[in-house]
Amino acid sequence: MSSDAPVAEIPGDLLREGIIDRLRSHLGDALLDSLVKPGDDVWVRVRSDAWRETARVLRHEMGFDYFCFLSAIDWMPSPFGKGEDDPTEPAPERDDTIRQGYAGGDSRLQMLARVTSSAQHVGVNVKCDVADDAPVVESWIPVYAGANWHERETHEMFGIGFAGHPDLRNIYLPTEFEGHPLRKDYPLLARMVKPWPGIVDVEPLPGGDDEEGDAE
């Protein structure tokens, strides 16, 4: 099913709908949710225990041979806001409901990976939930060898374990580093150490913020 020429845009995006159909036929009910933006992109969310199976299906059955990236998203809104709080004032009320994005979700942390087909020039964003109490998913290394470094980075930044990873240690941070920086409850230390200078200097933004422009 692979051709080397770039595929023309198909109206209604049969290409991407077709991807979801084939994925569903392989995974069955492990495919929890999906979203297609016609002509743009496709998102799928799979069950956590089918994470590696999804990768295997995508690579070996459906020809998605190019591994783009693997990471995670923390959907909890940051309790520190933008780090612009005035330390002399009480902390403002913040909305802390967790709302996931495209293709839904049930947990605070979600895996996000993207693979592309080099022949058809189309990519798939794959998500899966990561349980809050036991954040472990299967490693993608047996399928995509390049996931090694990406999983190490996700592990050190989010604290997600990868079962089957041969060498899960920190890649950017020193070995003794405590905490998982990209989680939202880990503060941006620069803003903790010194209050954000904009508190004193900020002027109201020019023009007011209800000036809507037309697109074009």
Report the alpha-carbon distance of residue 211 to residue 208 in Å, rounded: 7
Q: Is 168 in the site for another protein (CB under 8 A)?
A: no
- As beta bridge partners, residue 90 has none
Report the residue from 78, 98, 161, 168 that binds another protein according to the rule CB under 8 A: 78
Closer to another protein at the Cβ: 31 or 115? 115
Report the residue from 4, 29, 133, 178 that binds another protein according to the rule CB under 8 A: 4
Q: Is 20 in the site for another protein (CB under 8 A)?
A: no
- As beta bridge partners, residue 91 has none
Report the alpha-carbon distance of residue 126 to residue 110 in Å, rounded: 10
Report the alpha-carbon distance of residue 49 to residue 42 in Å, rounded: 21
Report the residue from 40, 93, 176, 203 that binds another protein according to the rule CB under 8 A: 40
DSSP-assigned letters across all residues of 3-14: -SSPPPPPTT-H
Say which residues have a Cβ less than 8 Å from residue 150's Cβ, sequence separation at least 6. Answer: 69, 70, 71
Task: Tell me how many helices (H) and strands (E) the chain has.
Answer: 5, 7
Closer to another protein at the Cβ: 22 or 196? 196
Dihedral Cα 159, 60, 39, 111, nearest 10 deg: -10
Report the residue from 38, 47, 125, 165 that binds another protein according to the rule CB under 8 A: 125
* Among the residue ranges 15-23, 48-56, 60-68, 131-139, the one whose residues contact another protein (CB under 8 A): 60-68
* Among the residue ranges 21-29, 45-53, 128-136, 202-210, the one whose residues contact another protein (CB under 8 A): 202-210
Closest approach, Cβ 153 to another protein, in A, equals 8
Q: Is 209 in the site for another protein (CB under 8 A)?
A: yes
Closer to another protein at the Cβ: 200 or 205? 205
